[in-house]
Amino acid sequence: MRVLRIFAILDRLRVHRHPISAQLLADALNVSIRTIYRDMATLQAMGAPVRGEGGVGYQIGKGYFLPPLHFDPDELDAIVLGMRLVAARGDGPLADAALRASAKINAVLSDEHRETYSDRPLLAYSVQAETADQSIAFLSPVRAALRERQRLYISYRDLKGRGSTRHIRPLGLTAFDRVWLLTAWCETRADFRNFRVDRMRSVERTGETFRREPGKEFNDYLRTL
């Protein structure tokens, strides 16, 4: 039991960018703070670069080799459903990436979980429009520009059939039931705008990157909602 708890602590340390307090770890694992202190001492004695600071919390050093992740049944269900949703809702490259990522996860599971991971009776289905291929035709270049923070020049037609061209900074993608929505800073309008990917008529990557700018980021937009 203690070995499993130590693995669970490592899992939580690796997924937190910032220090996590002993109290939060104790609450998550349903043990006392004193138990967390003892487990942390054990990890440090084993050579794990766990740093602890009073009033701040614990954090693990970057680059440290950690044992494979240990997933509980609910976590495995979430992974399976998430991957299958991406495969159902995304374009070809995104669907292929979901399958590759799923295979990598399966490869590091225990023998017990590996036998049931790919056969879990969980399905994800997406009701696509008749022009499904066209509705996500520009998803790949939009995602690439989003990762690389690269300006786009798009031709767009709104729901009323009005056409326009825009220079935009792609900031975030949201997957709704039937559409993908791109949130961007529109340099033409000097404000945030949302564009349905299926309403785009052309997408041109300009090769120009943009820096982070306070007031013009995805989180800034979310705070306006």
| Domain assignment present for 46 | yes
Within this chain, do residues 95 and 136 fall inside the same structural domain, yes or no?
no
**Could you tell me if 139 and 218 lie in one domain?**
yes
Q: Which domain holds residue 181?
A: 132-222
Q: Do 139 and 111 share a structural domain?
A: no
> Which pLDDT does position 202 carry in this prediction?
95
Specify which residues 195 forms β-bridges with.
Answer: 182
User: How many domains does the structure of the chain reveal?
Assistant: 3
The separation between CA 143 and the C-alpha centre of its own chain, rounded to angstroms, equals 13
Could you report the per-residue pLDDT of 175-196, keeping only the tens digit for each? 887 789 999 999 989 999 999 9
pTM: 0.65
With 70 as the cut, is the pLDDT of residue 197 above it? yes
Cα torsion through 117, 121, 127, 133, rounded to 10: 40
pLDDT band at 68 (very low <50, low <70, confident <90, very high): low
What pLDDT, on the 0 to 100 scale, is given for residue 169?
97
Q: Is the pLDDT of residue 47 over 80?
A: no
Is there a single domain that holds both residue 18 and residue 56?
yes
| Residue 198 CA to its chain's centroid (Å) | 22
Most confident of 21-30, 171-180, 214-223: 214-223
Tens of pLDDT, residue by residue over 26-38, are 998 889 999 999 9
Q: What is the pLDDT of residue 130?
A: 44
Residue 14 belongs to a domain: yes
Residues 211 and 137 in one domain: yes
Which pLDDT score, from 0 to 100, does residue 64 have? 58
Q: Tell me phi and psi for residue 166, to 5 degrees.
A: -140, 145
Q: For residue range 109-132, list pLDDT tens digits in order.
A: 777 777 777 778 887 776 654 444
CATH number assigned to the domain comprising residue 50: 1.10.10.10
126 belongs to a structural domain: no
CB distance 55 to 20 below 8 Å: no
Same domain, yes or no: 47 and 104: no
User: Taking all residues of the chain, what is their mean pLDDT, rounded to a whole number?
Assistant: 85
Question: Does 147 have pLDDT greater than 90?
Answer: yes
Amino acid identity at 8 = A
pLDDT at 192: 97
Percent of the chain beyond pLDDT 70?
90
CATH number at residue 169: 2.30.30.520
153 neighbors 165 (Cβ within 8 angstroms)? yes
Residue 1 pLDDT exceeds 80: no
Q: Are residues 14 and 83 in the same domain?
A: no
Examine the domain organization and report whether 46 and 88 are in the same domain. no
Q: Which of 150, 137, 145 is nearest to 196 (CA)?
A: 137
Tell me whether residue 125 is in a domain.
Answer: no
Amino acid identity, residue 38? R
Co-location of 145 and 102 in the same domain = no
**pLDDT confidence of residue 168:** 97
| 92 or 111: which leads in pLDDT | 92
Can you tell me whether residue 186 is helix, strand or coil?
strand
> Same domain for 98 and 164?
no
Higher pLDDT, 209 or 44: 209
Residues 41 and 85 in one domain: no
In a domain, 26, yes or no: yes
Classify residue 79: in a domain, yes or no. Answer: yes
Sign of the Cα torsion 12, 16, 22, 24 reads negative
